[in-house]
Amino acid sequence: MELTRRRLLGAVGAGVAASALSAVPAKAATRIRHYWWGNPERDKRTFAVIETFQKANAGIEVSGETIGWGDYWTKMATQTAGRNMADLVQMDYRYLFEYVRRGALKPLDEYVGKSLMIKDFDQGPIAGGMVDGKLYALNIGSNSQVIVHNTRVFKEAGVDVDLINWTWDDFARACEQITAKSDGKVKGSDDLSLMIETFESWVRQNGREFYGADGKVAATVDDVASYWQMWANLRKKDVVRSKDKTVILDPPIAESGVAVGDTAMSHYWSNQLVGIQAVAKDKIGAAMVPHKKGGKPGQFIKPSMFMSLSRDTKDPESAIKYMNAWVTDPAITKILGLERGIPASKAVRDALAPGLNETEKLSVAYFDAIQSKVGALPLPAPKGAGEVRDAFMRIGTSVVLDRAKVKDAAEQFIADASDIVERAQ
Amino acid sequence: MSRGSTSPLKASFMRRFIARNAPAYAFLTPWLLGFFLLALGPILASLYLSFTRYDMVNAPKWVGLANYEYMFTRDRRFWKALNVTFTYVALAVPARLIMALGVAMLLDKGLRTIGLYRAIFYLPSLLGASIAIAILWRQLFAADGVVNAVLGYFGIQGAAWITNPDTSLYTLVVLAMWQFGSPMLIFLAGLRGIPKDLYEAAEIDGTPKWRQFTRITLPLLAPVIFFNLVLQTIEAFKTFSSAFIISNGTGAPADSLLFYTVYLFNEAFKFFRMGYASALAWVLLIIIAIFTAISFLTSKYWVHYENERD
């Protein structure tokens, strides 16, 4: 029985991986593959890194494979099933647990201190790559939530608050002020009703994690209802972006309100500051996610990207050599800059400091400013977290379009989310 | 072929059969290999997988009928997906067929440049399945898109067609209507096959055009309509790429574009539930089979073939 089942599986795998397999050459002694999700800027830098590495390590050939975030995990899942993962894969905090639990990654502990030199790393970023007490993912950058805002509009509207310590009341007032001053041409903010990342901070401000230590949904109906109600109030005052823009899911950066110019604020991750400035007309600034009066810290610093060693690697020694170069070789860390987030090594950060441009300086300054205002890194999300995110956007859409009452929708979401997580285990 | 071969003759028959057909099978080998390895194999594997829980990494675990049970008893999105898909099929198939027949009849007037027109009208169908058209469609029907700009000239305040769950599905029906090319070509061939003297006789009798259409064109075209109906229904059930692109791959807004195939894709490649997705695929196969069977069963009441004797 076991044999036939496996044979059947093989047949499926062969079909699925047929195209990918055909691309693999017969045998290359020291050839490693590196797979990452990217954008034009990131790809340019990464290929430059590969070139630099190959020059210094004549015996190792690195082949880079890149694709956008949208298709990245689909392709990865297919390659994982076909036992054809790249030696080194870029990993995200949200997916780390899932891939470790499915047995797709190798722990790095045996290399640490021998061929992987990460002694001067901050403790936070290291801990973020641990699962069940083992290191499965090397931090290649950290980031945090950020409210990106248009500094020109802020100035013209006379918004003058402390953007690190401000509260949700300040936020609402700023939205009203901006909308009024521009005669409604520029609305205060994007409507973040569908942004589960902002909502996660909201839940933490209420003193809970979205997912409890047992991996179950710990956010309450009240958390969801109060969050959606706040945005409903702002919609009623007409100080946030129009509904039909709000319900477009995961729009590209260039279509965000801050980039287009029809709103003055939006929610992003701090390593995206460079990318947003590139498409925005006015100079952008960085504010924290507003706090709750008397609430707990909601925001946190999270590893933005990891590099992980896959189960399918044939030459772990060479792969680790490459990985080590990413976080220690000055020539390489210089090419990478802050594009993937703030480096975890103090030595690397210090070396980079003099050569930073204005936006990069902004992200470093922002990073320094929030250090004492953030809470602990939440546990990695359980299996099913991606689907919960979809459910949040789906049910949130009904709320934004007035097709569901806030309270009913909140109940529905918590029920669905609990169901999804339970089914995924 | 030689019939009723008795057992002593069987061996020589087999030899002859092989000798005669071996070259054919030799030439067919690439196709046969492809069929067994890339089509039949995976199809049977998916039937097996539909009774398992399979995340693409760990070996499939047998769960019996659990996938089907969850689908029919607990999965609200499954029913939502069926609802969306059936609504779409019910609207898009007739819309496309009527459009196709209408244009085919216009082109059947014996124009000299018919080749050119045929090509022009067929073009959208060639482009239709492409990603680019889906993206174009999204732009056309966006709140600040071309459609609303044109409506604006007439003083009409257009809706946000794509992002409003009440209207999003209809934009796809319009897209389907626009891609009437292939049924149109088949209709055109069918219309050409209707003897002209029937119309001439009707003219002489003073039969109005409308009656000519209902009494001559439709009955004689019935086999072609039937063929198009079956084909287009199957096609409509399988609609994927346009819905996937326009809804950002999720069936948004508010699941109003949650086509069955989009749901299936998400279950398989986003949430790694290969077993469940396989079960969904088999249910879709059965639904399409039932619809095709119904079409065939009812066809004898409205489709008549010329060489058929009553």
Structure tokens at B86: 């059936």
Are both A118 and A52 inside the same structural domain? Answer: yes
Question: For the segment B188-221, what is each residue's pLDDT rounded down to a tens digit?
Answer: 999 988 888 999 999 999 889 899 999 999 999 9
Question: For the segment B214-243, what is each residue's pLDDT rounded down to a tens digit?
Answer: 999 999 999 999 999 999 999 999 999 889
C-alpha–C-alpha distance, residues B118 and B129, integer Å: 19
Domain that holds residue A76: 23-141+304-367
The residue among B78, B80, B271 with the most chain A CBs within 10 A of its CB, best to mutate, is: B271
CB A227 within 8 A of CB A199: yes
Structural domain contains residue A14: no
Are both A136 and A147 inside the same structural domain? Answer: no
First to last CA, chain B: 30
Question: For the segment B144-176, what is each residue's pLDDT rounded down to a tens digit?
Answer: 788 888 888 888 877 788 888 888 999 999 988
**A387–B270: do the CB atoms touch at under 8 Å?**
yes
H/E segment holding residue A61:
strand A61-67
pLDDT at B179: 86
C-alpha–C-alpha distance, residues A270 and A272, integer Å: 5
Contacts of B60 in chain A (CB under 8 A): 5, 9
B45: nearest CA in chain A?
Answer: A8
Are both A354 and A405 inside the same structural domain? Answer: no
DSSP assignment string, chain B: ---S--HHHHHHHHHHHHHHHHHHHHHHHHHHHHIIIIIIHHHHHHHHHTTEE--SSSPPEE-TTHHHHHHHHT-HHHHHHHHHHHHHHHHHHHHHHHHHHHHHHHHTTT-TTHHHHHHHHHHHHHHHTSHHHHHHHHHHTSTTSHHHHHHHHTT-----TTTSTTTHHHHHHHHHHH--HHHHHHHHHHHHTS-HHHHHHHHHHT--HHHHIIIIIHHHHHHHHHHHHHHHHHHHHT--HHHHHHTTTTT-STTTT--HHHHHHIIIIIS--HHHHHHHHHHHHHHHHHHHHHHHHHHHHH---TT---
Structure tokens at A313: 């690697």
CB A48 within 8 A of CB A70: no
The model's confidence at residue B5, banded by pLDDT at 50, 70 and 90, is very low
Distances (CA, A) of B25 to A327, B29, B137: 59, 6, 46
What is the three-class DSSP state of A12? Answer: helix
Residues 6+ apart with CB under 8 A from A352: A333, A334, A337, A338, A343
A400: nearest CA in chain B?
Answer: B254
H/E segment holding residue A89:
strand A88-91
B268: nearest CA in chain A?
Answer: A74
Interface of A with B (CB under 8 A): 5-6, 8-9, 11-12, 14-15, 18, 70, 73-74, 77-78, 80-81, 102-104, 242-245, 247-250, 384, 386-387, 390, 393-394, 397-398, 401, 403, 424
pLDDT at B186: 92
Q: Which of A12, A77, A390 is nearest residue B269 as measured by Cβ atoms? A: A77
Residue that terminates a domain, selected from A343, A367, A391: A367
Residues 6+ apart with CB under 8 A from A265: A147, A148, A149, A150, A174, A175, A188, A189, A190, A257, A258, A287
Are both A205 and A313 inside the same structural domain? Answer: no
- Helices and strands in chain A, H and E counts: 18, 12
**B160–A394: do the CB atoms touch at under 8 Å?**
no
Domain count along chain A: 2
CB A340 within 8 A of CB A140: yes
CB B161 within 8 A of CB B167: yes
Mark A209-239 as b/e (b = at least 16 C-beta within 10 Å).
bbbeeebebebebebbbebbebbbebbeeeb
CB B158 within 8 A of CB B148: yes
pLDDT at A14: 45
Are both A258 and A240 inside the same structural domain? Answer: yes
**A15–B38: do the CB atoms touch at under 8 Å?**
yes
Task: Count A/B contacts: CB-CB distance under 8 Å.
Answer: 89
CB A399 within 8 A of CB A209: no
Closest CA relative to residue B232, chosen from B100, B121, B132: B100
Question: For the segment B35-65, what is each residue's pLDDT rounded down to a tens digit?
Answer: 888 889 999 999 999 999 998 777 899 999 9
pLDDT at A19: 41
Residues 6+ apart with CB under 8 A from A424: A382, A383, A384, A387, B271
């699925």: which residue's tokens? Answer: A16
A385: nearest CA in chain B?
Answer: B271
Amino acid, single-letter form, for residue A345: S
**A78–B60: do the CB atoms touch at under 8 Å?**
no
**Domain ranges within chain B, ordered by starting residue:** 7-49, 66-302
Identify the CATH number of the domain in which residue A74 sits. Answer: 3.40.190.10
Output the pTM of the full model. 0.81
């069963």: which residue's tokens? Answer: B297
pLDDT at A216: 93
The model's confidence at residue B6, banded by pLDDT at 50, 70 and 90, is low
The model's confidence at residue B7, banded by pLDDT at 50, 70 and 90, is low
B161: nearest CA in chain A?
Answer: A244
Structural domain contains residue A188: yes
Residue that terminates a domain, selected from A342, A367, A392: A367
- Name residues of chain A where pLDDT drops below 70: 1-29
pLDDT at A236: 96
């790393």: which residue's tokens? Answer: A121
What is the three-class DSSP state of A381? Answer: coil
Q: Which of A9, A73, A249 is nearest residue B250 as measured by Cβ atoms? A: A249
Residue that terminates a domain, selected from A319, A336, A367: A367
- Give residue A219's Cα distance to chain centre: 21
Alpha helices in A330-384 (DSSP H): 330-336, 346-352, 358-370
pLDDT at B302: 80
Contacts of A249 in chain B (CB under 8 A): 248, 250, 252
CB B183 within 8 A of CB B102: no
C-alpha–C-alpha distance, residues A42 and A340, integer Å: 8
What is the three-class DSSP state of A266? Answer: strand
pLDDT at B163: 84
Distances (CA, A) of B119 to A116, B116, B122, B126: 63, 5, 5, 10
pLDDT at B128: 58
* pLDDT over threshold 70, residue B4: no
Q: Checking DSSP bridges between strand A61-67 and strand A31-37, what pairing results, if any? A: parallel
The alpha carbon of residue A81 is apart from the nearest alpha carbon of chain B, in Å, by 5
Are both A85 and A173 inside the same structural domain? Answer: no
Q: Which of A245, A384, A401 is nearest residue B254 as measured by Cβ atoms? A: A401
Bridge partner list, B53: B61
The model's confidence at residue B1, banded by pLDDT at 50, 70 and 90, is very low
B44: nearest CA in chain A?
Answer: A8
DSSP assignment string, B206-258: T--HHHHIIIIIHHHHHHHHHHHHHHHHHHHHT--HHHHHHTTTTT-STTTT-
Are both A147 and A96 inside the same structural domain? Answer: no
pLDDT at B307: 60
pLDDT at B306: 65
Closest CA relative to residue A241, chosen from A213, A221, A261, A227: A261
Closest CA relative to residue A224, chosen from A424, A423, A421, A415: A415
CB A144 within 8 A of CB A125: no
Amino acid, single-letter form, for residue A41: E
C-alpha–C-alpha distance, residues A120 and A139, integer Å: 12
C-alpha–C-alpha distance, residues A103 and A80, integer Å: 10
Instruction: Say how many C-beta atoms besides its own lie within 10 A of residue A364's C-beta.
Output: 17
**A401–B253: do the CB atoms touch at under 8 Å?**
yes
C-alpha–C-alpha distance, residues A349 and B305, integer Å: 81
Closest CA relative to residue B53, chosen from B44, B40, B65, B38: B65
Which fold, B66-302? MetI-like fold (1.10.3720)
**B250–A390: do the CB atoms touch at under 8 Å?**
yes
The alpha carbon of residue A261 is apart from the nearest alpha carbon of chain B, in Å, by 15
Are both A317 and A389 inside the same structural domain? Answer: no
Q: Which of A8, A70, A243 is nearest residue B48 as measured by Cβ atoms? A: A8
Are both A62 and A184 inside the same structural domain? Answer: no
ipTM of the complex: 0.78
C-alpha–C-alpha distance, residues A89 and A66, integer Å: 10
